Amino acid sequence: MPTVIFHKNGSAYEGEVRPNTNLVVRAGIKQFPFPHLSYGCGMGKCAKCTCKVLAGAENLGTPNWKEKKQLGDKLDQGYRLACQLWIQHDVELVQEDPPGA
């Protein structure tokens, strides 16, 4: 079972998820990383679920066109859209607050 470490507001939360898990779907049914993960549309359109990958990026699928459209150069800095990720292996993510939040 993949272990997900999720950092938010200076705290780290850890949980095990089933292989091929989508974290936004889980948060939507109030499972880890609920209530810490911020998200919106769940469809790759709003970028509210943007996270930076701290570890395990090599195990994630290649970014799809929605991520390329929303994130642009930020993809190269390690950012991904959580709603577009299907977790297969251990991963560590941080979600930063938007500027001014």
Helix-strand-coil percent breakdown of the chain, rounded to 5?
A: 25, 30, 50
Site for ligand FES in 51-80 (CB under 6 A): none
What tokens were used for 1? Answer: 């079972």
- Is residue 44 near ligand FES by the rule CB under 6 A? yes
CB 46 within 8 A of CB 40: yes
CA-CA distance, 20 to 100, in Å (whole number)? 34
- Pick 17 or 27: Cβ nearer ligand FES: 27
AA letter at 90: D
Which of 19, 40, 78, 98 contacts ligand FES by CB under 6 A?
40
Which of 7, 8, 26, 48 contacts ligand FES by CB under 6 A?
48
Q: Which residues bind ligand FES (CB under 6 A)?
A: 24, 39-42, 44-49, 81, 83
